[in-house]
């Protein structure tokens, strides 16, 4: 069985590695970029994502490249602690939680794919424009070969569309452009060389329902920061779905000029960043279907979500693992694709909606309690929200530690 994967991001690369581990070797990744570079800023990998990557044999490289998160702590805008909880191994998981540069993670996955599937398994410069079903039921992928500036086509038994929030493959299958939804907030992101703070492995969320800052280390001496706040209506709106629009760092630093605490000077951290990026918050509404004939959607193409809860890339990793498991163990390809959608679409759709709630009413309730001096009640609210979110997204401690593996043994292939 041949498989073509559209997009060499975290989801697509994990799908390739998972399929290879499940006994498939006729796999081709089609990547639009002419060069795969270390771009972006930090990313969090909670234990449910780390478990899957570890079972693919990547635990050692993650340990060397990432920072194991020790705790998550919420603070109000004055720097007063509302609530904190342990994370990763410190919370009783069998797997750590890692913070890592997104570009580093992608590079590690690319290296693993090329080592295991061969250097030609990733074909760059292939800008896919659409997917259709051939007369024999196979998936036909139309693309522009940007290295030669000519149209090309690829045929496979199964196509996996992992080409992001603005997926041309998804839109061709639906027959229309999937609209991106925005809540009117903007995320600003950057990385700064800086000394450790608090435990040295802490992830903090500071602010209220009007503005929030998240800071965590992604390497020795490197802190990742992001700031979310309502968009400035006096400025032209940036392009939805584009993660890498540069913006003035000094302008962003002004937003946090009062966020100076004895344990972390956020203003100095942001002002010291060499570059910053602007990303208008965007997601898509939950989709009614992910499978069209022999083509399946995966990752942001299937369930792009607001970046709360560290679950965008994590859910893509889970997609990849379940899809590979189903393709290896189901009686037919069609049964496998149906099984994949049945397992993953309801869960990911609920995470999408939960992330919308986290971006809105959850922080409004917590912040109102904190402003009234009821930090204990605010802590209880946060604790309850985190508990329910972990259950929903698939990383409740007991459930994750005891869940059956999605790795495929040789006997079950």
Q: Chunked in runs of 10, what are the mean pLDDT values of the chain (413 residues)?
A: 96 98 95 82 94 98 97 95 96 98 95 96 96 92 92 96 96 94 90 96 94 95 94 69 83 95 97 91 95 97 89 95 97 97 97 83 84 91 91 95 90 59
Instruction: Evaluate whether residue 255 is within a structural domain.
Output: no
Cα-based distances in Å from 411 to 25, 52, 53, 58: 17, 20, 22, 23
pLDDT of residue 274: 86
Query: Residue with structure tokens 């590690």?
Result: 108
Instruction: Evaluate whether residue 275 is within a structural domain.
Output: no
- Could you say which DSSP state residue 90 is in? G
Task: Count up the domains in the chain and report the number.
Answer: 1
Distance (Å, whole) CA 110 – CA 129: 23
Instruction: Evaluate whether residue 78 is within a structural domain.
Output: yes
pLDDT of residue 216: 97
Instruction: Evaluate whether residue 192 is within a structural domain.
Output: no
Q: Are 243 and 279 in contact (CB under 8 A)?
A: yes
Instruction: Evaluate whether residue 248 is within a structural domain.
Output: no
Distance (Å, whole) CA 110 – CA 117: 10
pLDDT of residue 240: 78
Instruction: Evaluate whether residue 167 is within a structural domain.
Output: yes
Domain that holds residue 163: 3-180+284-407
Q: Which phi and psi (to 5°) does residue 42 adopt?
A: -85, 160
- Reported pTM: 0.95
Q: Residue 149 is part of a domain; what is its CATH number? A: 3.50.50.60
Instruction: Evaluate whether residue 412 is within a structural domain.
Output: no
Instruction: Evaluate whether residue 277 is within a structural domain.
Output: no
């Amino acid at each position: 069985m041949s498989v073509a994967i559209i997009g060499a991001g975290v989801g697509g690369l994990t799908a390739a590695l998972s399929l290879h581990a499940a006994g498939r070797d006729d796999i081709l990744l089609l990547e639009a970029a002419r060069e795969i570079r270390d771009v972006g800023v930090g990313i969090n990998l909670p234990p449910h994502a780390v478990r899957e990557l570890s079972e693919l044999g990547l635990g050692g490289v993650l340990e060397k490249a990432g920072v194991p998160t020790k705790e998550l702590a919420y603070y109000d805008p004055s720097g007063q602690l509302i609530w904190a909880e342990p994370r990763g191994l410190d919370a009783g998981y069998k797997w750590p939680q890692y913070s890592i540069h997104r570009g580093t993670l992608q590079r590690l996955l690319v290296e693993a794919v090329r080592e295991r599937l061969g250097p030609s398994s990733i074909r760059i410069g292939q800008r896919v424009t659409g997917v259709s079903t051939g007369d024999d039921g196979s998936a036909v992928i139309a693309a522009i070969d940007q290295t030669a500036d000519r149209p090309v086509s690829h045929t496979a038994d199964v196509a996996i569309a992992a080409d992001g929030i603005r997926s041309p493959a998804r839109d061709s299958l639906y027959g229309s452009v999937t609209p991106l939804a925005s809540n009117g907030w903007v995320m600003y992101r950057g990385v700064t060389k800086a000394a450790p703070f608090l435990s040295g492995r802490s992830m903090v969320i500071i602010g209220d329902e009007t503005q929030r800052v998240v800071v965590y280390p992604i390497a020795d001496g490197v802190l990742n920061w992001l700031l979310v706040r309502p968009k400035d209506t006096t400025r032209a709106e940036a392009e939805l779905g584009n993660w890498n629009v540069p913006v003035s760092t000094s302008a962003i630093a002004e937003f946090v000029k009062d966020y100076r605490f004895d344990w972390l000077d956020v203003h100095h951290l942001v002002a010291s960043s060499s570059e910053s990026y602007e990303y208008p918050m965007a997601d898509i509404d939950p989709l009614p279907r992910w499978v069209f004939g022999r083509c399946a959607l995966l990752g942001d193409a299937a369930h792009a979500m607001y970046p709360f809860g560290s679950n965008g890339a994590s859910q893509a990793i889970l997609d990849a693992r379940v899809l590979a498991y189903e393709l290896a163990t189901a009686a037919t390809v069609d049964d496998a694709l149906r099984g994949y959608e049945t397992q993953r679409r309801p869960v990911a759709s609920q995470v999408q909606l939960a992330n919308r709630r986290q971006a809105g009413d959850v922080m409004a309730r917590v912040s109102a309690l904190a402003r009234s001096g009821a930090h204990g009640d605010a802590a209880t609210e946060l604790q309850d929200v985190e508990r329910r979110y972990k259950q929903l997204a698939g990383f409740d401690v007991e459930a994750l530690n005891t869940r059956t593996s999605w790795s495929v043994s040789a006997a079950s292939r």
